[in-house]
A and B are shown apart, each in its own frame.
Chain A
């Protein structure tokens, strides 16, 4: 299955005349794509429900953390699609929140760029987990 997807991605790269990118044609399999899609979708659900349907937003936040945990186990935090999806999700989630979260999202963007460019071991703040803990403490 993975080989088939790799081959089809390679053929597609040729079909749309991406000669420059042929060598680097998508190697990502189904798991990073699914996890990235789930992350963005749950992020949008969280943002949309956070003011009116608090219970639904908490469930979306828990699902986001589960997707993050699965990504950490399966992809070891190296997949760029998942990294990008995580940053977008955080930006969508926290754009409806007040100031401190904006700053943390911006810091995470910077850390991600550093991680992608040169320093592979740069840690990224697990903002969704931090926010879940914050919510739990607020409720208590």
Chain B
């Protein structure tokens, strides 16, 4: 799923859970938490620019696209970090960050073709693909941005 959709979904869900005022006050943490995990794609994009363009046209993705932040051990470390932080900083902020990060992971797991979630421990490819492999995925990716923007505008 594209990064803009992640940010919009994160903001919409946070508005419903924590209330629109808290979501508006914490708009930067929400956007950062829901998009920062995609930083690990950049290394793959830089190294494999041609396959990336080809994949964008066909709708296929490779599991190598998802780097270290999309793996279970990183998520475990992040969860432990959030647990420690919850003792020291505002728990609402910790909850907002934690929820948005894992919402991002959940949406990626639902929509992306393949991913190596357990990679250092298991080489198996995991897959859910609720929108299938090719066209529906691209269509959902394109449509999601205006639809989510409209929903946020209505809210």
Q: Is B44 close to A, CB under 8 A?
A: no
Candidate in B63, B95, B105, B106 with the most chain A CB atoms within 10 angstroms: B106
Candidate in B61, B62, B63, B124 with the most chain A CB atoms within 10 angstroms: B124
Q: Shortest distance in angstroms between A71's beta carbon and chain B's nearest beta carbon?
A: 13
A113 touches B79 (CB 8 A): no
A102 touches B125 (CB 8 A): no
Q: Shortest distance in angstroms between B28's beta carbon and chain A's nearest beta carbon?
A: 18
A40 touches B106 (CB 8 A): yes
Compute how far the CA of A15 lies from the CA of B128 in the bound complex, rounded to whole angstroms: 19
Chain A: number of interface residues, binned into ranges: 35 or more
A47 touches B13 (CB 8 A): yes
Task: Known A80-B126, A81-B127, A99-B83; judge A12-B106 contact (CB<8 A).
Answer: no
Compute how far the CA of A91 lies from the CA of B15 in the bound complex, rounded to whole angstroms: 19
B83 touches A37 (CB 8 A): no
The stretch that binds B, out of A22-30, A58-66, A127-135, is A22-30
B91 touches A28 (CB 8 A): no
Q: Choose among A36, A40, A47 the residue that contacts B17 (Cβ–Cβ < 8 A).
A: A47
Q: Choose among A25, A28, A40, A52 the residue that contacts B109 (Cβ–Cβ < 8 A).
A: A40
Residues of B within 8 A of A44 (CB): 13, 103, 106
A33 touches B129 (CB 8 A): yes
The stretch that binds A, out of B34-42, B113-121, B139-147, is B113-121
Q: Shortest distance in angstroms between B17's beta carbon and chain A's nearest beta carbon?
A: 6
Please name 18 pairs of A and B residues whose Cβ atoms are closer than 8 Å in the assembled complex, sorted by A.
A12-B60, A17-B51, A17-B62, A21-B63, A26-B127, A28-B127, A33-B127, A40-B106, A81-B126, A81-B127, A84-B118, A88-B102, A88-B105, A92-B102, A96-B17, A96-B95, A102-B98, A109-B76
Given contacts A84-B72, A87-B72, 4 further A-B pairs with CB under 8 A are A18-B63, A21-B125, A81-B127, A113-B76
A contact residues vs B (CB 8 Å cutoff): 9, 12, 15-18, 21, 24-26, 28, 33, 36-37, 40-41, 43-44, 47-48, 50-52, 80-81, 84-85, 87-89, 91-92, 95-96, 98-99, 102-103, 105-106, 109-110, 112-113, 116-117
